[in-house]
Amino acid sequence: MRESELLKTVSNVRRVELRRWVEKGWVVPERRDGEFWFREIDVARVQLVIEMRRDLAIAEDGIPTVLSLVDQVYGLRNQLRQLGEAIQAQPGDVRKAIADRLRPDD
Amino acid sequence: MTSDPYTVLGVAKSASAGDIRKAYHKLAKQLHPDLNPGDRDAEERFKEAQAAYDIVGDADKRARFDKGEIDADGQERPTQQSYRHYADAGADHPYHSADGYADFGDMGDVFSDLFGQARRGGPGGGQNMRMRGSDVRYTFEVDFMDAARGAKRRITMPDGRELDLTVPASLRDGQVLRLKSKGMPGVGGGPNGDALITVHVKAHKLFRREGNDVHVELPIALHEAVLGGKVRVPTIDGPVTMTVPKNTNSGDRLRLKGKGFAVGKGDKRGDQHISLRVVLPEEPDAELEAFLQSWAEAHSYDPRVDMEV
Same domain, B106 and B176: yes
Q: What is the pLDDT of residues B19-54, one digit of tens each?
A: 899 999 988 988 888 888 878 888 888 888 888 888
Boundary-marking domain end, from A57, A72, A87: A57
In B237-288, DSSP assigns E strands to: 240-244, 253-256, 272-279
Boundary-marking domain end, from B168, B201, B234: B201
Distance of CA A13 to the CA centre of its chain: 19
Check if the beta carbon of residue B192 is closer than 8 Å to that of residue B182: yes
Q: What is the CATH number of the domain that holds B31?
A: 1.10.287.110
Return the closest-CA partner of residue B145 out of B231, B196, B198, B205: B205
Could you give the angle at the alpha carbon of B289 between the alpha carbons of B283 and B293, nearest 5°? 160
B307 located within any domain: no
pTM of the model: 0.45
Judged by CB atoms closer than 8 Å, whether chains meet at A45 and B123 is answered as no
Residues sharing a CB contact under 8 Å with residue B290, sequence separation 6 or more, in sequence order: none
What are the pLDDT tens digits along chain A (106 aa)? 888 888 988 888 899 999 989 888 889 888 877 788 898 889 999 999 998 888 888 888 888 888 888 888 888 888 888 888 888 888 888 888 888 888 876 5
Closest by Cβ to A75, choosing from B28, B97, B174: B97
Closest by Cβ to A82, choosing from B94, B99, B115: B115
pLDDT on residue B79: 56
Same domain, A51 and A67: no
Q: What is the DSSP letter of A56?
A: S
Closest by Cβ to A51, choosing from B32, B100, B126: B32
Check if the beta carbon of residue B17 is closer than 8 Å to that of residue B66: no
Number of H helices, E strands in chain A: 5, 2
Instruction: Provide the number of structural domains found in chain A.
Output: 2
Q: Which residues of A touch B93 (CB under 8 A)?
A: 41
pLDDT on residue B123: 43
Same domain, A83 and A36: no
Best residue in B81, B97, B172 to probe A by mutation, most A CBs within 10 Å?
B97
Chain A nearest C-alpha distance from B75 (Å): 16
Same domain, B183 and B229: no
Q: What is the pLDDT of residues B87-115, one digit of tens each?
A: 888 777 888 877 777 666 555 455 655 55
Closest residue of chain A to B77, computed from CA coordinates:
A11
Same domain, B238 and B292: yes
Q: What is the pLDDT of residues B283-294, one digit of tens each?
A: 999 999 999 999
Same domain, A65 and A105: yes
Same domain, B104 and B194: yes
What sign results for the dihedral spanned by CA atoms B172, B176, B180, B183? Answer: positive
Residues of B with CB under 8 A from a CB of A: 24-25, 28-29, 32, 34-35, 37-38, 50, 53, 80-88, 90-91, 93-101, 111, 114-115, 121-127, 129, 174, 211
Same domain, A50 and A68: no
B304 located within any domain: no
Instruction: Provide the number of structural domains found in chain B.
Output: 3
Same domain, B178 and B217: no
B141 located within any domain: yes
Same domain, A47 and A70: no
Closest residue of chain A to B110, computed from CA coordinates:
A83
Same domain, A30 and A5: yes
Instruction: Give whole-number Cα distances, B72 to B11, B19, B249, in Å.
Output: 15, 20, 78
Judged by CB atoms closer than 8 Å, whether chains meet at A22 and B124 is answered as no
pLDDT on residue B127: 41
Higher pLDDT, A28 or B73: A28
Same domain, A5 and A29: yes
Domain enclosing residue A8, as ranges: 1-57
Domain enclosing residue B162, as ranges: 99-201
Judged by CB atoms closer than 8 Å, whether chains meet at A55 and B124 is answered as no
Instruction: Give whole-number Cα distances, B23 to A58, B16, B64, B78, B167, in Å.
Output: 15, 11, 21, 23, 60
Same domain, B47 and B109: no
B20 located within any domain: yes
Judged by CB atoms closer than 8 Å, whether chains meet at B126 and A23 is answered as yes
Closest by Cβ to B81, choosing from A28, A44, A73: A44
pLDDT on residue B67: 79
Judged by CB atoms closer than 8 Å, whether chains meet at A79 and B111 is answered as yes
Q: What is the CATH number of the domain that holds B236?
A: 2.60.260.20
Phi, psi of B136 (to 5 degrees): -120, 145
Q: What is the pLDDT of residues B234-277, one digit of tens each?
A: 999 999 999 999 999 999 999 999 999 988 777 889 999 999 99
B305 located within any domain: no
